[in-house]
Amino acid sequence: MERVPILKIGEILFVSIQIDLQDDSVIRLQEDLADELGATGAHGVLIDITAVEIVDSFIGRMLTTIGSISRLFDAETVLVGMRPAVAITLTELGLSLGGVRTALNAEKGLELLNGKS
């Protein structure tokens, strides 16, 4: 099973999803991210989904869960690079990604996490 890499950039954990997300890889990402948040004390999580073409209800719920996990570690989550088709699918599934902020790209996401916008 492929793992999604988690990079620490200052006080922010950067997650760039470059693989097709399967249920087991999303669960592994949640576990890895919780471990990293606990170990590093990062204040923000930036998740880049530019390469994600398709989401289903499970993956949508898991992105919301990642936001909840981050909040438990006193970190904010920003999702960036969402394709229009992904946004439409999430809306059609009735998923609002509560607790997860969004930005157009990684630069704008970093600005949100660093309190500059």
**Per residue in 42-100, pLDDT tens?**
999 999 999 888 888 888 888 889 999 999 999 999 999 999 999 999 999 998 888 89
What's the distance, CA 56 to chain centroid?
A: 15
Per-residue model confidence (pLDDT) at position 22: 75
68 lies in some domain: yes
Per-residue model confidence (pLDDT) at position 116: 66
Whether residue 1 is predicted with pLDDT greater than 70 in this model: the reply is no
What's the distance, CA 55 to chain centroid?
A: 13
Whether residue 117 is predicted with pLDDT greater than 60 in this model: the reply is no
Judge whether 46 and 13 are in contact, CB under 8 Å.
yes
What average pLDDT does the segment 103-116 reach?
Answer: 92
Q: Which domain CATH number covers 16? A: 3.30.750.24
pTM: 0.91
93 lies in some domain: yes
- CA atoms of 7 and 74, how far apart (whole Å): 18
Count of the separate structural domains present in the chain:
1
Pairing of the two strands 12-16 and 100-103: unpaired
